[in-house]
Amino acid sequence: MSEPSVLWETWGEHEAILLKPPRSPRRVPPPVPRTAVLFPRREGFYTELGGFLPEVRLRFETYGRLSRRRDNAFLVFHALTGSAHLAGHYSDEVFARLSPLEQAFGREGWWDALVGPGRVLDPALHYVISANHLGSCYGSTGPTSLDPRTGRPYGKDFPPLTIRDLARAQARLLDHLGVEQATVIGGSLGGMVALEFALMYPERVRKLIVLAAPPVHGPWARAFNRLSREAILKDPGFAEGGYERQPEGLKLARAIAMLSYRAPASFQKRWADDPAQGESYVVYQGEKFARRFDANTYLVLSQAMDTHDVGRGRGGVEAALARLKGIRSLFVGIDSDLLYTKEEVREMARLAGGRYQEIQSPHGHDAFLIETDQVERILDSFL
């Protein structure tokens, strides 16, 4: 694989090393994020684990228009620390109105290379929707949001969530937008939400695309999540969730997680001549992350990931995945993914009766964000 000539860091999910071409006129127009009240106070939102939210809002962005036949919608789910900002570059006016955390996330969308004129997600052909997950900190209802009952941020009192809660909130967004069916796409945590969405609302899914996500959040992945949470919880600055500024433990949590998002070959490729730079890199990523994310949010969403099991209450994983055979589906593994291995993704595709394709990359789990040329070819061949 030839080495692209331009590389830089992005504020996007996992701080991926994006190897991207220069900006071009093929970008989408500057997007304008919107917020929808999907579960108003007269209704509220009861979580799967018994919690209650008096109101649920989701921040979202759309690209393109819904066709008259209402058959061109794509719903894209982001990963753990992503946002609704899928593509485009915020204007100065829009950027100035964003929250400090949204501003710290950055002006550029996290999958910008895939959305635009002539791209696989072309707004001239498709109505592309991307919403910030319930429980996140980029405009949707989450721990940093004000509890309407108290007027104060939920903080540590935000109720625990499951992946199915996240899928249910996204389904209500489709109702709000007048979309009956959509092609659903997600990677990592977003892939888990896509799986649950398809199992909960099969009649609403035209096609299903899952990248770098498992049917069950297994012991290896849960161990990384547990270590990251312990780094936060054991930091005195966390103050049992009542911190006034982001605790130092959030930096360490991110540094730990970064090791699961990459692979040894990626570090060797970049720092073989100066191995100490690999250490500095993960520390640096933790420091950047603490400027753009929230510790209570990290706890809520990482714990939601640990609830992920498509077989729960459905007779087991094999029985659950068999329900997807009526949906045209694509499952994308990554040859160097240490977090959710290519073998488990391939087996999931087999059980679901879907197509399996693979990203070839030294960069590990983050490759679905890094290798955008490969991702576009794979998606284009399926769509």
Can you say which residues are annotated as belonging to the binding site for substrate?
Answer: 254, 366
- Pick out the residues of the known binding site: 254, 366
Residue 8: CB atoms within 10 Å: 8
Q: Is 370 helix (H, G, I), strand (E, B) or coil?
A: helix
Q: Where are the alpha helices (H) located in the chain, listed in sequence order?
A: 92-97, 100-105, 163-177, 189-200, 219-233, 248-261, 264-271, 276-289, 295-306, 317-322, 342-352, 367-370, 372-382
Tokens of 34: 């919107």
The C-alpha atoms of residue 269 and residue 253 are separated, in whole angstroms, by 24
Residue 57 CA to residue 133 CA, distance in Å, equals: 10
Rounded CA separation 300/49 (Å): 13
Query: Both tokens of residue 163?
Result: 């992946």
Pairing of strands 34-39, 73-77: unpaired
The residue from 14, 308, 337, 363 that is catalytic is 337
8 Å CB contact between 163 and 193:
yes
DSSP-derived 3-state class of residue 208: strand
Contact 249, 232 (CB under 8 A): yes
Active site residue 188: yes
Tell me if residue 365 is catalytic: yes
- Given 188, 260, 329, 336, the catalytic residue: 188
264-271: long-range contacts (C-beta < 8 A, 24 or more apart)? 265/336, 265/362, 265/363, 266/336, 266/362, 266/363, 266/364, 268/362, 269/362, 270/17
Q: Phi and psi (nearest 5°) for 258?
A: -55, -35
d(CA 24, CA 28): 10
Within the chain, what is the greatest distance between any pair of CA atoms? 61
The DSSP letter of residue 317 is H
The catalytic site residues sit at: 188, 337, 365
